[in-house]
Each structure stands twice: as C-alpha cells, then as structure tokens.
Amino acid sequence: MLTYIFFLSSGLFLGWSLGANDASNIFGTAVGTKMLRFSFAAAIASLFIVLGSVISGQNTADTLNALGGVNTLPAGFAVSLSSALAVLLMLKSGISVSISQAIVGGIVGWNVYTGHQTDMETLVHICASWFFCPVIAAVIAVTIYCAVKKILHHSKLHILWQDWIVRVGMILTTALGGYALGANNMANVVGVFIDSCQFTSFQIGNLYTISGVQVLFLLGGIAACIGVFTYSQRAIKNVGKNLLSFSPMVAWIVILSQSIVLIMFSSVKLEQLLQALNLPSLPAVPVSSTQAVIGAIVGIGVAKGGKGIKWGLVLKLMSGWVASPLIAFLLSYISLSFMENVFRQTVDLTIK
C-alpha cells in the first residue's frame, strides 16, 4: 500500500494543479468583480468539487482509458507527474491552461514510448470537444445574457435587489461549478490509477457505500481543494479580472455557462438520450473549464460589440492550450524513459 501511495502522489499533485488552475474558472469572475470573498468562494467550491468527484467523477474515465490504457503504477506516476508539471509551468507564466489537454498529451506520450497505437477515434472525439466546448459555452452565455437583459429591462428591479440576486446566484453557481469540475475533470487526475486501485470499499453508516475507486476519486478531490486554497489566486487575476471588464451580472452568467457545459460533457444519461432521439450527442469526456469560461466571456464580449475584450490576453491563453499538451507529451516520454532505464521500473505490462 505504501508503494501505491507513493506512485499515486503524482496523481495527487495533478489534483493540486487542477484546483490551483481551474478555481479561476469556477469563481474567478465572482472574486474579480468583488461580489464574493476568495475564502468564502473557495470553501463552497471545494466542498462541491469533492462531492462531484466522488458521486460522478468516474463518468468520463472510460474515454481516457480508451485513448491509452496506462497499465502500471510507475507509468501512471510518470504520466500524471508530467501533466502536472506542464500545468505548473503554464501557471508560473500566468497562463491558466487545461488539465484535460495536459493529461491527453501525457497519455499519448505513453502510447508513443511503449509502442501502443493511439485510438484515433477517441482522440478525434476529445480534440473535437476542445473546439465545441468554448463554442457551446459562448452560445449559452449569449442566450442567458440576452434573456437576463430583457428580464431586467421589463422588471425594473431596484439596483440593491439586483445586487442581492447576483450574489445569491454566484454562490449557487460556484457550488454548481465546483460539482461540475469534480464530475468532469477528476478522471484527468486519477483515471490512470483506476486499474491498479488498491483501496477497499467502506460504508458510511447504513446509508451509503463508497467503493475503492470512489476513495481514489475522493483523495483526488481533496488534493484539488488544497490547490484551490494555496495557489489559485494568480490565475484568478487573469481570468476573473484582466480578460474583460464586465459587470457582476455578466460575471455570474460566465460562471453559470461554463458549469452547464461541463455538466453536459459529464452526463452519460444526456448522451444516451440524444442518441435515442437520433440527435448529435456530446460524449462523456473531460473538457476544459478554462476554454468554457473564455468561450463564455468572449461570446458576451462579442455580443456587446467586442470593444472590451483584451484580445492579446485571449491569444496568450489560447497559446497555452496548444503548449500544455505538447509539453506534457515531451515530459511524459522523457520521464517514462527515466523510469524504465534509470529506476528499472516496468512501464508496460503488455507483451508485444
């Protein structure tokens, strides 16, 4: 078990990186507009990250496993560590990037190093989600923005009532965003360790049984919470404050839109329903909350005429989306080589 915990530590480091990086997408706009205090928003988000991880975190794990079945603990350690380092390097430069893209780069690095063929159909689905995620977020954000604008115009609410409604709305959407992040992205953190999971199930009273895999996702959620409290404020300054100058109402719409998108890409039932209706379905796949937030912000900015958007910063953030999987790929390949040739650890159980 101690050996397992040691190798799992890189996954927990990746969980820390998830919290440090993606907290800005859950409540960055709320903190940036001074509608919520950081400590209060972080506490709410952390609680629901854990709940989302334990209850629904496994929904998107199958997609990553189909991309590349990392089949040993040392390999999982190398892939997770490489992805976490890629995210940390981007954070150090002030760019909020995608854990989803980094872990994909790491897994493809394992495929290339071990000679396994990358499942191109799965890779295409994942890459397509990187395109559709911000586009869908933009459409949802603009729709909500236009609807809210009409409602406020006709209702003529006093500004104090508007302020109160927005604050309550931000609290609720911070909770929703935390749950969505845990449900959609926790597979990125600990998914490569599912096959080698050594935790056993236990019961909470007579009401609920937590499986061994859920214990794994619980630890990933706790690691993400630590990342939220210790290192997320830097990324919040970019996404929550610097990208676009906007009102608290728009800030709330941005958080709500990205939460809806993450839930859409986390729901197996929604995927099955759309397939049953012969409609294009959204795969249950980890997507980037960073891309969803920026898509929502840019969508509203364009709807308002596009003058307030800081396009230079948008391009800088987009460059991080390209750089993070490439860096993770290279680090994964190099670390796997070290793991196998220097530390004499098995990184692939498949006999070719």
Query: Residue 348: inside a domain, yes or no?
Result: no
* pLDDT-wise least confident of 143-147, 279-283, 321-325: 279-283
Query: Residue 349: inside a domain, yes or no?
Result: no
User: What average pLDDT does range 260-271 have in this prediction?
Assistant: 87
Structure confidence at residue 49 as a pLDDT band (50, 70, 90): very high
CA distance 157 to 79: 52
Radius of gyration of the chain (CA): 20
User: What average pLDDT does range 251-271 have in this prediction?
Assistant: 88
Q: What is the pLDDT of residue 341?
A: 94
Q: Which domain holds residue 94?
A: 2-341
Query: Residue 155: inside a domain, yes or no?
Result: yes
Query: Residue 350: inside a domain, yes or no?
Result: no
Query: Residue 157: inside a domain, yes or no?
Result: yes
CA distance 322 to 310: 19
Q: What is the pLDDT of residue 220?
A: 95
Q: Whole-prediction pTM value?
A: 0.87
Structure confidence at residue 349 as a pLDDT band (50, 70, 90): confident
Share of the chain above pLDDT 90, in %: 44
If phi > 0 it is left, if psi is from -120 to 50 it is alpha, else beta; for residue 278 that is left
User: What average pLDDT does range 227-247 have in this prediction?
Assistant: 70
User: What average pLDDT does range 233-238 have in this prediction?
Assistant: 68
Query: Residue 347: inside a domain, yes or no?
Result: no
- Ranked by mean pLDDT, the top range of 56-60, 95-99, 310-314 is 56-60
> Tokens 């999987």 identify what position?
325
Q: What is the domain count for the chain?
A: 1
pLDDT digits (tens, 9 = 90+) for 87-135: 888 877 777 677 888 999 999 999 999 999 998 988 988 888 888 999 9
User: What average pLDDT does range 203-228 have in this prediction?
Assistant: 89
Query: Residue 206: inside a domain, yes or no?
Result: yes
User: What average pLDDT does range 164-175 have in this prediction?
Assistant: 92
User: What average pLDDT does range 42-63 have in this prediction?
Assistant: 92
- Ranked by mean pLDDT, the top range of 25-34, 76-85, 242-251, 287-296 is 76-85
pLDDT digits (tens, 9 = 90+) for 336-346: 999 999 999 99
Query: Residue 244: inside a domain, yes or no?
Result: yes
